[in-house]
Homo-oligomer: A and B are copies of this chain.
Amino acid sequence: MNQTKIYDVAGAAGVSLATVSRVLNHPEKVKEATRDKVLRIIKEKGYKPNANARGLASRRSTTVAVVVPNISRSSVAEMIQGIVDAAKEYGYTIRLFVSEESSSQIDMWGDVIASSVDGVLFMNDQMTSELYKQLELAPVPVVFVNSISERKGLGGVRIDYEEAAYKITKEMINRGNKSIMFIKTGHKYSVNEMKEKGYIRAMNESKLTPDIVTSSGDIDINEVQFQEILGCRIPDVAMAVRDSIAISFMNIASKRGIKVPEQLQVIGFQNTRYALLSNPKLTCVAIPIYDIGNKAMSYLTQLMKNDDESVAKSEDVIVDYNIAWRESTR
């Protein structure tokens, strides 16, 4: 019930607590015989150093903060799984910070820093200049995950969403499709803006008129809107910024008797499990979101072991994506 302290281990092993500490932190500095004895006792007693004390004394907590907006978005959860797995590999522990709005992220930032983490994995799609300022003052490295930073020295692991949207649009044009609809949401997510940009570029290049629909985040409202749209026009292709919106659109089309993919092709963005459970199965730009989390954490560990005085700066790392061709396209 009372946790074993380093003193207990030292006592039982007949060494000083400094030696026990060294066995844990700099084993190469301890004679093998001593080390083995201490390790045995540590195991016997199930000793684990108190994280607070260790963090306070060493200024390294082997903990990183993961700052995300709303964890229940399925892509966020999967990304965290990637982070967690990499963290485990490198011996880091996670402190989770979830913020609803970007304004609250500023308040939260103080807590993040005070929690004395060794680094931060940061996800935010609605950056403000004040937030940038805060991040730039961070006493530890910050790496963006699947979101876009506009500042030098503050980068992260992500996809080139503009390119991805451009290429898939281009591909659909090359396949002979003329009317390609782009469905976005009202939110000002920078990654979604990149997708829109890529789409527009591809359309313009081919002298086609962009057809952009802004949908709600709510499924029920979407459905009404999609009914209206499909009552007026059936595009060759509908591409949505999120899988769930694409599926919602596809379902409404099916209900109206429109054949997918024969009359209408539908493309999503992300490749969540929704895409495999839809009927027909959704073609989408597959974002390796697990890998993004995983790589971001690995990258952060590199920055954290920088012994320099200064805080290591992060740069953008662009990760490859691919296209999962399924039944909603032909």
Contact = CB atoms under 8 A, between A and B. Distances in A.
A318 interface: no
B98 A219 contact: no
Interface string A11-41: 0000000000000000000000000000000
B274 A251 contact: no
Contacts of A113: 3, 48
Q: How many interface residues does chain A have, given as a range?
A: 35 or more
Contact of A219 (B50, B74, B276): B276
Contacts of A85: 98
Contact of A77 (B50, B77, B114, B278): B77
A46 B110 contact: yes
Contacts of A329: none
Contacts of A116: 50-52
A174 interface: no
B50 A56 contact: yes
A111 B244 contact: no
Nearest to A51: B115
A84 B96 contact: yes
Given A51-B114, A110-B46, A95 B98 contact: no
Given A56-B56, A72-B78, A278-B279, 17 more contacts: A1-B137, A3-B114, A51-B116, A63-B95, A71-B80, A71-B81, A72-B74, A72-B77, A72-B80, A77-B77, A85-B98, A93-B115, A219-B277, A248-B277, A251-B277, A278-B278, A279-B279
Interface of A: 1-3, 46, 48-53, 55-56, 61, 63, 66, 70-74, 76-78, 80-81, 84-85, 88, 93-98, 110-111, 113-116, 137, 139, 219, 244, 247-248, 251, 254-255, 273-274, 276-279, 290, 311
17 contacts: A3-B139, A49-B114, A50-B114, A51-B52, A51-B114, A51-B116, A52-B55, A71-B77, A74-B273, A88-B98, A93-B97, A94-B96, A247-B277, A251-B277, A255-B279, A274-B277, A278-B278
